[in-house]
Copies of this chain bind each other. A is one copy, B any other.
Amino acid sequence: MVMGEPSREEYKIQSFDAETQQLLKTALKDPGAVDLEKVANVIVDHSLQDGVFSKEAGRMCYAIIQAESKQAGQSLFRRGLLNRLQLEYQAREQLRARSLQGWVCYVTFICNIFDYLRVGEAPAATWVADSLCPEDQEACSRLSALLWPFPQVNNMPMMALVNPVYDCLFRLAQPDSLSKEEEVDCLVLQLHRVGEQLEKMNGQRMDELFVLIRDGFLLPTGLSSLAQLLLLEIIEFRAAGWKTTPAAQNYYYSEVAD
Contacts and interface: CB of A to CB of B under 8 A. Distances in A.
A245 interface: yes
A210 interface: yes
17 contacts: A206-B247, A207-B250, A211-B257, A214-B229, A214-B232, A214-B251, A217-B228, A217-B229, A217-B232, A218-B228, A218-B229, A222-B222, A232-B235, A235-B235, A235-B239, A239-B248, A240-B240
Contact of A251 (B210, B245, B257): B210
A136 to B, nearest CB: 19
Main secondary structure on A side of the interface with B: helix
A1 to B, nearest CB: 50
How many chain copies? 2
Interface of A: 206-207, 210-211, 214, 217-218, 222, 225, 228-229, 232, 235-237, 239-241, 245, 247-248, 250-251, 257
Contacts of A257: 211
A225 B214 CA distance: 11
Contact of A235 (B206, B210, B222, B236): B236
Nearest to A209: B247
A258 to B, nearest CB: 9
A241 B243 CA distance: 12
